[in-house]
Structure 1
Amino acid sequence: MTIEKIAGETSAKIGTACSRRHFLKGATAAGALAAFGLAGCAPKAKNEMAATGNAPSNAADINWDEETEVLVVGSGYAGLAAAYEAAKAGAAVRVIEKHKMAGGNSVYADGQIAVVGSAAQAAADIEDSIETFMNDALTAGLNLNYKDKLQLMGEKSNEVFEWTVNEIGVEWAQDDATGAAQLIAQGGHTVTRCIPPLENSGAGIVKPLLAKLSELGVEVETGTQLIALVRDETGRIVGATVAEGCSDYDPATASSRTNVKTTRGVVLATGGYGKDVAFRSAQDPRLDETVGCTNFEGATAHGLKVALDAGVMGMQLDQIQCYPYTSPEEDSFGCAATWIEAESAYAPTIDPTTGKRFVNELTDRKRFCDAMFEVGTPLLQIGSVDNVPDWCAESLENALAAGVTREFSSLEEIASEFDVPLDGLKAQMDSYNACVTAGEDTEFGKLFNPDAKPVVTAPYYVTRAWPKVHHCMGGVKTDIDCRVIGNDLEPIVGLYGAGEATGGVHGACRLGCNGTLDCLVNGRIAGQQVAALEPVA
């Protein structure tokens, strides 16, 4: 069985196993996991078998089996950044991950990051500011974002980017002309500030972080799930109950349960709940089982429910983002999404019933998806060989190999295949290409990449696009120091949160590349803060 199947990124419709970036393409499951350091370590053997029902949540009722200073729950960007900073500070750290391999949903992410004031922007003479960054995020987020968190992210964006390069060893794509990092346009950003990793996948960030943790003696324990948070008589979090050896993300299948005492604290980095249809549709009834999802199978509300049971305040749980770049021909994220998103900076997206554009292809995801749902039928992205930058050429190859993106020799052929009005299509392509040549989109105000060219040369690359659930903006409430807030609106001592597990950062809509930034900035802060917390006996 291939690792693509294990990762759950199969497509029943096209019969092709396909991970987001094919970053494990061609490897066997065991070999790939070991080679990339994503497999984690096997759960510790226990004699006690797991039992169903709730675990004790009061310290007075607990017999501790193990002890650590810091327990990090989740091994995506946020969890790994938190674990690294805590371990670097000298704390004893344990990291658990309910998935069968380390990295969580971050492994399947683009890995692109938004950076304000980078050397790449300076090399390209691009002016940017914290205020512009915040305004972009607030516009997309409908002003539901917490401004202090946005400002902190913007201020620390270049610092965290340099940290990934100089301390963690992440490799980012480079611009051949300047030698600086590659800059790309992303939806909702009014300034070009986003940088893709060289590997063109979140694995390009996850793997170096795992390697750095391994150097510090910290390994990720996979198949291990949080069951309960434990509070003492003062209300402080002093430990957790975890289920080890779980299969299919079900604690009832665990080989054992372990009560882990934490002398400093717990970091919640459990990600979102996009794959949890029952929970997400309870928050937003539109997002029922008929709507697909880009996330891996473990993206459920399990960790969030544990936190809520412990008295944590949840916030903005109905703010769930759909992703406009996926194909209805594929299950989950599939192969084409990476190409569709990359090509959105270059190619028009067409309503097949009219042959016309209907939206700025680089608007934020909420506005893009809302416009798509209003059209009511899958859309056509029409790119060409003129606009295939080196950094996304492999994405195109993967989409073509999967049969989801198709080549056409003319606009006439496209119109015939998809029943598009030919006159409308030709007029629209002429208009769009004139905008690219002029460097200004007079139709919808799209921000063109500097290397964008008119879409005029066959072969044309056509991909159908339709939204899927992608990111949960809501989660547990935290303060600026990543301390988790309780229902009494006070910080819960010994409990921290970062990444998609938390709410308030992105408001109603997360801008592309801000997710990576959020996870790394706040993951680092959570790790630093928990390591500095006065320990309990």
Structure 2
Amino acid sequence: MKQITLAVLAAFAIAGTCSAAVKDGTYTKTVTGHNAPITVTVDIKGGKIASIATKDLESPGVGKVAIKKLEDSVIKNQSTNIDIVSGASVTSFQLLGAIKDCLKQAGAEKGDFNKRITDANKAPVTERADVVIVGGGGAGLASAVSALEHGAKVIIIEKLGFLGGSTNVCGGALNASGTKYQKALGIEDNPQKHFEQTMKGGHNVSDPKLVKVLADNAPSALLWLEGMGLKFNPKVGAATGALYQRSHYPNPAGGNTYVVTLEKQLAKYGPDRVKVFLETPATELIMKDGRVVGVKAKHKGQDVTAVADKGVIVTTGGFGSNVEFRQKVNTGVWKEADLGKEIGCSNIGVAAQGQGLQLAEKAGAELIGLSDIQVHPNGSPGTGLMLDIKTSGRNRLFINTNGDRFVNEGAARDVLSKAVFAQPGSTYWLVQNKLRYPDENAIDLLSGRTMRDMLAQGRVKKAANLDELAKIINVDPARLKAAIESYNQVARHEVEQDKFGFKATHTDDRPMVEGPWYVARKVPTIHHTMGGIHIDTGAHAVNAKGEIIPGLYAAGEVTGGIHGANRLGGNAVADLMVFGRIAGSNAAQAK
């Protein structure tokens, strides 16, 4: 009887994790991923999931991280009933759905491979460090590395299932002046010019002291990253709305390269110096005698307390995806526009909700400039994500649905986006040609992808000549040719500027005359929120009286005062590196 009971129990233990009914073999399913179709191949051997292979174009640091985590978990646990990865929910659900379909093809029944697996632990945990960082995005990672360099022990509290946050999906442009890369191209630049253009681009409402810190320290931040092994492309560009040719792009292109570099640096210090809590949203800053001394958080129902002996740094990013809040504070540059749910956001949705602002405000920090919201012209219809061909760089045209140019393509982001809103349907066609993509198999500096891959996804269309392009976008060929010729007259220096104010002042400016031509439809998207926690030049959070809140620091998009009413393209990465570095250093050395 005992043997029978044990056998039954063993059967129940196996049930839900695998099935003798499934047939060995290889099964494939293609599903719609976040960026593009995902093809999943599951290999069944001995009635178990032996391997999972995925062909995808998901974002490095986000979707690709989720895929690896979920594949490993499914194989280890022989179950598809596992927790998704926060911040990559679309990829997670689609991948798990594809795996389930493959198992069904193999003969699995509804309850097979379905044992509930979770890493949730209800026992409270308390950890202690010198510096606790809330938010493991670009600014948080920069703060962590800086604090470690100054001898601190560090804890990172991150609500997503991976590090890097929305830095993973940013274009990666870093504005810095007077660099060796600029000098090699004959570009004259200096921190004062960077300062002046940042002030002007921000409508002269930025805090000049903060802007000076940004401009003066951006070159050394670039060198700091190079010291960690990060490579920059020697071709200096101009991000959308940068106003000058000082945008430095990492190689490989894209913000994830910064994340990978900083993560590798963290790993050098080991678990005794730095601990990371993922899937752990912060819920409260702990106060004692007017000082911030720690953070309370939750990990899947588990209470987590992180005690900070020297300081807490808030680096949780902006609030661009919080539709209700952005509508509430939209009284500035975009007060005439409806920034409701019809307008997407270029950042990771769950990462851009503004919780860090609420935490800091409850601790006494002043919030400033919340109405300063940036709209970017490079959104993809339906999502607002900045996919495929980019508005950054030069030799690209904004063509409306009538076939006309309608704006100086080198203008600031708010000017570009307002011009798009004024067009029929608040949309336009972004047109590029062989100048930008001489080789469809080469990786693009700005997108980090090949034109071949972009064409395969279908959002970008290709035309051999302008007549064919006009047919694709349904405009009069003569009108389209006239629009492009107006640009080319400036690019050939036949006229100094056109009626929109465009001037050919960039080293890359050339006439656009030769096919193939590439086109994608674009819409405005929420890209950055310039308001947030009021900080001083040392990245200390301050109250409404300008007094430092002991133990509290902030860096990155969660702060206000640096970018004014409009951020220059390329200044965000510079901001998070410069002020993240300052926050980490000052917190680590606090008395």
Instruction: Return the TM-score normalized by structure 1.
Output: 0.84
- Which residue number in structure 1 is paired with residue 296 of structure 2? 241
- Which residue number in structure 1 is paired with residue 470 of structure 2? 415
Q: 2:163 aligns with which of 102, 114, 125?
A: 102
Q: How does 1:240-259 map to 2 (within 5 A)?
A: 240-244=295-299, 254-259=300-305
Q: 2:277 aligns with which of 197, 215, 221?
A: 221
Q: 1:392 aligns with which of 444, 464, 481?
A: 444
- C-alpha distance in 2 between matches for 1:452 and 1:33: 48
- Which residue number in structure 1 is paired with residue 122 of structure 2? 47
- Greater relative contact order (Cα 8 A, min sep 6): structure 1 or 2? 1
- Which residue number in structure 2 is paired with residue 86 of structure 1? 147
Q: How does 1:219-368 map to 2 (within 5 A)?
A: 219-233=275-289, 235-244=290-299, 254-284=300-330, 286-298=338-350, 299-328=352-381, 331-336=383-388, 339-342=389-392, 345-353=394-402, 355-368=403-416
Conservation of the 8 A alpha-carbon contact between 1:74 and 1:269: yes
Q: CA offset at residue 5 of structure 1?
A: 8.3
Q: CA offset at residue 435 of structure 1?
A: 1.8
Conservation of the 8 A alpha-carbon contact between 2:344 and 2:379: no
- Which residue number in structure 2 is paired with residue 472 of structure 1? 529
- C-alpha distance in 2 between matches for 1:492 and 1:401: 52
The superposition leaves residues 173-218 of structure 1 with CA deviations (integer Å, 9 ceiling, x where unpaired) of: 1xxxxxxx22112333443111111111111110110111111122
- Which residue number in structure 2 is paired with residue 431 of structure 1? 486
Look at both structures and tell me which one has the larger radius of gyration over its CA atoms.
Answer: 2
Q: Secondary structure at the match of 2:492?
A: helix
- Which residue number in structure 2 is paired with residue 501 of structure 1? 558
- Which residue number in structure 1 is paired with residue 260 of structure 2? 207
Compared CA separation, residues 11 and 22, structure 1 to 2 (3 A): farther
Q: How does 1:129-148 map to 2 (within 5 A)?
A: 129-148=190-209
- C-alpha distance in 1 between matches for 2:36 and 2:321: 15
Q: CA offset at residue 514 of structure 1?
A: 0.4
Conservation of the 8 A alpha-carbon contact between 2:154 and 2:275: no
Conservation of the 8 A alpha-carbon contact between 1:116 and 1:158: yes
5+ long unaligned stretches in structure 1 = 50-63, 174-180, 245-253
How many residues are paired up?
Answer: 488
- C-alpha distance in 1 between matches for 2:368 and 2:168: 26
- C-alpha distance in 1 between matches for 2:225 and 2:424: 41
- C-alpha distance in 1 between matches for 2:61 and 2:122: 39
Conservation of the 8 A alpha-carbon contact between 1:113 and 1:515: yes
Compared CA separation, residues 242 and 33, structure 1 to 2 (3 A): farther
- Which residue number in structure 2 is paired with residue 76 of structure 1? 137
- C-alpha distance in 2 between matches for 1:297 and 1:478: 25
5+ long unaligned stretches in structure 2 = 1-27, 39-54, 74-84, 88-117
Q: CA offset at residue 23 of structure 1?
A: 8.6
- C-alpha distance in 1 between matches for 2:119 and 2:474: 59
1:30 is matched by which residue type in structure 2?
K
- C-alpha distance in 2 between matches for 1:11 and 1:345: 30
Q: Secondary structure at the match of 1:65?
A: strand
- C-alpha distance in 1 between matches for 2:405 and 2:493: 18
Q: CA offset at residue 137 of structure 1?
A: 1.3
**Is 2:560 aligned against 1:514?**
no
Conservation of the 8 A alpha-carbon contact between 2:36 and 2:457: no
- Considering only aligned residues, what root-mean-square deviation do their CA atoms show, in Å? 3.0
- C-alpha distance in 1 between matches for 2:568 and 2:507: 20
2:357 is matched by which residue type in structure 1?
L
Q: CA offset at residue 46 of structure 1?
A: 4.4
The superposition leaves residues 240-276 of structure 1 with CA deviations (integer Å, 9 ceiling, x where unpaired) of: 21112xxxxxxxxx22112322110100000011111
- C-alpha distance in 1 between matches for 2:210 and 2:32: 37
Query: Percent identity of the aligned residues?
Result: 29
Q: CA offset at residue 293 of structure 1?
A: 0.9
The superposition leaves residues 419-471 of structure 1 with CA deviations (integer Å, 9 ceiling, x where unpaired) of: 32332211122222222222854342244542343222222111111111111
Compared CA separation, residues 434 and 396, structure 1 to 2 (3 A): same
- Which residue number in structure 1 is paired with residue 232 of structure 2? 172
Q: 2:218 aligns with which of 134, 157, 163?
A: 157
The superposition leaves residues 19-42 of structure 1 with CA deviations (integer Å, 9 ceiling, x where unpaired) of: 4579976994328999xxx999xx
- C-alpha distance in 2 between matches for 1:317 and 1:141: 14
Q: CA offset at residue 222 of structure 1?
A: 0.9
2:318 is matched by which residue type in structure 1?
G
- Which residue number in structure 2 is paired with residue 382 of structure 1? 431
Conservation of the 8 A alpha-carbon contact between 1:77 and 1:519: yes
Runs of 4+ in structure 1 deviating by more than 6 angstroms, as ranges, are 21-27, 31-34
- C-alpha distance in 2 between matches for 1:230 and 1:514: 32
Compared CA separation, residues 39 and 90, structure 1 to 2 (3 A): farther
- C-alpha distance in 1 between matches for 2:543 and 2:225: 32
Q: Secondary structure at the match of 1:341?
A: coil
Compared CA separation, residues 486 and 277, structure 1 to 2 (3 A): same
